[in-house]
Structure 1
Amino acid sequence: DVLYTVCNPVGKVQRIVIFKRNGIQAMILNMMCMFESVFCAQKAKAALNGADIYAGCCTLKIEYARPTRLNVIRNDNDSWDYTKPYLGRRDRGKGRQRQAILGEHPSSFRHDGYGSHGPLLPLPSRYRMGSRDTPELVAYPLPQASSSYMHGGNPSGSVVMVSGLHQLKMNCSRVFNLFCLYGNIEKVKFMKTIPGTALVEMGDEYAVERAVTHLNNVKLFGKRLNVCVSKQHSVVPSQIFELEDGTSSYKDFAMSKNNRFTSAGQASKNIIQPPSCVLHYYNVPLCVTEETFVKLCEDHEVLSFIKYKVFDPKPSAKTLSGLLEWECKTDAVEALTVLNHYQIRVPNGSNPYTLKLCFSTSSHL
């Protein structure tokens, strides 16, 4: 029940099987969870790996399993087929062994908010600690804030290696524009010895997981990206050279205001989506029109969109938001890579508006 409650909001769960080690359900459980589709499983792994089921304990470690299907003979404490409720009945929540899920609450429980994720479920009442109770709700895990200035170090596996980058059209800023959708970006460095390859140091290993899940094998400027976890623990600014467009091969983004996961509140506003042909735009001035975006695409030599939609702003709003649809996913990815964080200047305005783009949950307009 607990695993279903945690996983099903992310991707539809079909079957769950619990495996016992040496016949004992101890502090660590091995479970297999079968989702409705591969995409659901990918979303669940990206969103939940490393999350705490309860605050400060029961950390999930999620890996892909070799079996392609789970077979459930009957619905009981150790297995359940959610597509076939007639396989058996159970009194949900009564008389079930829960020690393996709850465990003993660690005495060194931290309240400083620097854990790897927010809790997925409220802590049972016998484990609560006064006024600092966790909320009575199921919450999605939030990525960590930027590691360089909150943790003073880098978690293992926080660097990705990206190959297949177009040598004439890609630079550090454009890599940032694409990868920042999945986590904070600390540093980007193109490798001098391997043309078209860059190292991207991200805020934490979960950001890396999301980037690999959603961006590996994506087509960009006629080349297919290969995104994988690097053996490097951090990006060191060595062998800096000039890229084809005249920009530096290395850039530090740790303090960039365009990082979107710098606080729990900011991170919760991000919707992690795989690349699609529809982009959500926001933070543009009220004077921006469809023609503004058309000219923006022309000026930056990217294919223009085929459909445009603007959301009705609130009376007190100072910015606009809406959707842009491209002919195909590749065109949208290229437009986002080039145009994300473009500075829109308004006549007689003091400060420019930073155009923000992300992939939309809508597949078409």
Structure 2
Amino acid sequence: MVEFESVQCAQKAKAALNGADIYAGCCTLKIEYARPTRLNVIKNDNESWDYTKPYLVRRDRGKGRQKQAILGEHPSAYADNGYGLACPLLPLTSNSRYKLTSVDVPDMVSYPLPQSSPSYSGHAASPVAMVSGLHPSKMNCTRIFNLFCLYGNIEKVKFMKSVPGTALVEMGDEYAVDRAITHLNSIKLFGKRLNVCVSKQHAVIPSQVFELEDGSSSYKDFAMTRNNRFSSAGQASKNIIQPPSAVLHYYNVPPCVSQDQLLKLCREHDVPGFIKFKMFDAKPSSKTISGLLEFDSKTEAVEALTVLNHYQIRIPSKSFVGCLGS
């Protein structure tokens, strides 16, 4: 079954395709109207696809017997050693309902497949992740946002008073939780190892708000922040979702900021400094610059990202919110 955007679109498709041959003289299409008025698609794979929701990534259903492939392996199949390539590109029509803004949006949206993990499999049953192993004096709501926003929109973050070093993170959907668990579970951060799992709660409630060790609030609502990176198809298509690494990509930095100033910024915020620096060539009219920062280890890069992602760099008469990503 195929759902169209309107009855008129379905009528046009039926009129054009019903009775047509896929190949000359054979494979004649027979098209009828279906009884259901809406289709409920829960995943994007070779059996179903929702063209309005590119984030419904494909999920393997076990290693059972596979059907013989007519054309061999799909180019987006998992690599034997982990991360693999991106999933198929998803075409978006020019009048797609998924395009939420008037800005120019690429015609194709792609999401990488999640990395396989021995500690987690399946699909999150809640849009809330529970994170434990947080450093009591170096982690707060904003720093959790800086780290988790790479894998999906963040709605709310709340530290649990009854369980020190533990926080609940409400994300945009269950698939964002899946990506966060896949990439952030068991990483080391400020000398402690994070444990990221699915919470039994389906929403974060701002109850028992208290003050953290750094003086900030134990609860923060990020639903309206402009720093969420998956709020439209255009934004989502620019995100390269991948596991933490020793190299960070920085962007939206004013051209006057030098390598030494970035190193000074690391020292002032008590995070490790980078060991290699690369600035990308920018157009003469560009108001910002971007580049790469390589750290001595993945852990040092994650710590720098957690603290400095979205740091506001102020210059006379202007301010820039610098962004980092793995």
Unaligned runs of 5+ in 2: 1-41, 76-94, 101-106, 113-123
Residues 191 and 308 (structure 1), Cα distance of their counterparts in 2 relative to 1, 3 Å cut: same
**What's the secondary structure of 1:246's corresponding residue?**
coil
Which one of the candidate residues 49, 53, 59 is aligned to 2:49?
53
Q: Could you tell me whether the CA contact under 8 Å between 1:50 and 1:206 is conserved in 2? A: no
Instruction: Identify the residue that residue 241 of structure 2 maps to in structure 1.
Output: 272
Q: CA RMSD for the aligned pairs?
A: 3.0
Q: CA deviation at 1:340?
A: 0.5
Alignment of 1:133-144 (within 5 A): 139-140=109-110
Alignment of 1:255-266 (within 5 A): 255-266=224-235
Instruction: Identify the residue that residue 62 of structure 1 maps to in structure 2.
Output: 59
After TM superposition, where is structure 1 displaced by more than 4 Å over at least 4 residues in a row?
A: 79-83
Which one of the candidate residues 298, 316, 320 is aligned to 2:289?
320
Deviations along 1:141-193, one digit per CA (max 9) or x if unpaired, are 59xxxxxxxxxxxx951110000100110000000000000111000000000
Instruction: Identify the residue that residue 336 of structure 1 maps to in structure 2.
Output: 305
**What's the secondary structure of 2:277's corresponding residue?**
strand
Q: CA deviation at 1:138?
A: 6.7
**What's the secondary structure of 2:49's corresponding residue?**
strand
What one-letter code is carried by the residue in structure 1 that aligns with 2:62?
A: A
Alignment of 1:1-365 (within 5 A): 50-51=43-44, 53=49, 55=51, 62-63=59-60, 65=62, 75=68, 112-113=97-98, 139-140=109-110, 157-346=126-315, 348-349=316-317, 351-359=318-326
Q: Could you tell me whether the CA contact under 8 Å between 2:249 and 2:292 is conserved in 1? A: yes
**What's the secondary structure of 2:270's corresponding residue?**
coil
Identify the structure with the greater helix proportion: 1
Q: Could you tell me whether the CA contact under 8 Å between 1:160 and 1:200 is conserved in 2? A: yes
Q: CA deviation at 1:54?
A: 5.9
- In 2: Cα distance, 1:249 partner to 1:188 partner: 8
Unaligned runs of 5+ in 1: 1-48, 84-109, 116-136, 143-154, 360-365
Deviations along 1:221-263, one digit per CA (max 9) or x if unpaired, are 1111111111111000001110010100000000001111111
Q: CA deviation at 1:66?
A: 5.6
Deviations along 1:289-345, one digit per CA (max 9) or x if unpaired, are 001111001100011000011111111100010000000000000000001111100
- How high is the TM-score relative to the length of structure 2? 0.69
- In 1: Cα distance, 2:160 partner to 2:260 partner: 39
Instruction: Identify the residue that residue 4 of structure 2 maps to in structure 1.
Output: none
- How high is the TM-score relative to the length of structure 1? 0.62
**What's the secondary structure of 1:187's corresponding residue?**
strand
Deviations along 1:269-304, one digit per CA (max 9) or x if unpaired, are 111111000000000001000011110011000110
